[in-house]
Amino acid sequence: MSNSKHDELKLKVRKLIYAVHLFKKTNCRGSYVVAAYHHPDSITWRWSIWYSLPRKLFVLPKLHYDSTNGYGYLSLNVPIFGSISLSTQPSMWRDEIAGQG
- How far is the C-alpha of 96 from the C-alpha of 101, rounded, in Å? 9
- From the centroid of its chain, how far is CA 83? 16
Structure confidence at residue 62 as a pLDDT band (50, 70, 90): confident
7 pLDDT exceeds 70?
Answer: yes
Long-range contacts of 26-31, Cβ-Cβ distance < 8 Å, separation of 24 or more: 26/50, 28/52, 30/55, 30/82
**Which sequence spans correspond to the domains of the chain?**
3-100
Please state, rounded to an integer, the average pLDDT across all residues of the chain: 78
88 strand-pairing partners = 47, 72
99 pLDDT exceeds 80?
Answer: no
Mean pLDDT lowest among 45-49, 75-79, 87-91, 97-101: 97-101
Report whether 85 contacts 49 (CB < 8 A). yes
**Pick the residue with more confidence: 87 or 68?**
87
